Amino acid sequence: KQEVTQIPAALSVPEGENLVLNCSFTDSAIYNLQWFRQDPGKGLTSLLLIQSSQREQTSGRLNASLDKSSGRSTLYIAASQPGDSATYLCAVRPKGGGANSKLTFGKGITLSVRP
Amino acid sequence: DVKVTQSSRYLVKRTGEKVFLECVQDMDHENMFWYRQDPGLGLRLIYFSYDVKMKEKGDIPEGYSVSREKKERFSLILESASTNQTSMYLCASSSGGQVYEQYFGPGTRLTVT
């Protein structure tokens, strides 16, 4: 059974720091991996999706990498800002099952960027 | 932009009431999902649907049912609400193709008293 782990559960950094959020998964047979952001009391916003054949994806100050063989993904945030404060979740889609397969989510990392 | 909307942001119901949560997406997505999110437990899948009138149980279907009569609409039904169903409920949708990126609605905070 696929398990997705995000450690630490919470992180506090000063504004301006470059930071890396980690996501690990136990079964490397994945179709893709998706990073989400969630603000308190709100739904999830999709940030980046990496297909299993890709190594990384970039959007603005965000860069997500994927190393399937080691079961790891990282979300890199450049020059962090207080507005980046939120919970970041990763989720993997397994191979097989076609479009009916379900995502497995990590529990998220709550990031606080101090002004 | 993909838009997923949910019928209510906040809902307060009494124990034993029948509760309907509705979700609508505007991107002609084949797949739709209902999750609940609780502190310390993360996101848990209740039900999902991969086509109109088709549904499959997720990890925690007990006490819930779903309905998908039209492609754009997916309803979650609590047959007899209980206090342990107090939670944040999140709806999501995705295409059935290769990309399969999930998009979420804003969530419904349900309190059962």
Q: Rounded distance, CA B38 to CA B19, Å?
A: 19
Please give, one letter per residue, the 3-state secondary structure of B54-107: EEEECCCCCCEEEEEEECCEEEEEECCCCHHHCEEEEEEEECCCCCCCCEECCC
Rounded mean pLDDT of chain B?
Answer: 93
Question: Is the CB of B42 less than 8 angstroms away from the CB of A91?
Answer: no
pLDDT value for A97: 61
Q: Residue ranges of chain A with pLDDT lower than 50?
A: 99
The one-letter amino acid at B107: G
> What distance in Å separates the CA atoms of residue B33 and residue B11, rounded to the nearest whole number?
20
Please determine, for residue B98, whether its predicted confidence score (pLDDT) is greater than 70.
no
Cβ distance of A46 and B58 shorter than 8 Å: no
Q: Kindly indicate the confidence band of residue B51, based on its pLDDT and cuts at 50, 70 and 90.
A: confident
CA pair distance A70, A58, nearest whole angstrom: 21
Residue of B32, B100, B108, B111 for testing the chain A interface, max A β-carbons within 10 Å: B100
Between CA B18 and CA B5, with CA B55 as vertex, the angle to 5 degrees is 65
* Chain B contact for A91 (CB, 8 A cutoff): yes
Specify the pLDDT at position B100. 76
pLDDT, position A14: 97
Rounded-to-integer distance, Cα B42 and Cα B34, Å? 14
Query: What pLDDT was estimated at residue B43?
Result: 94
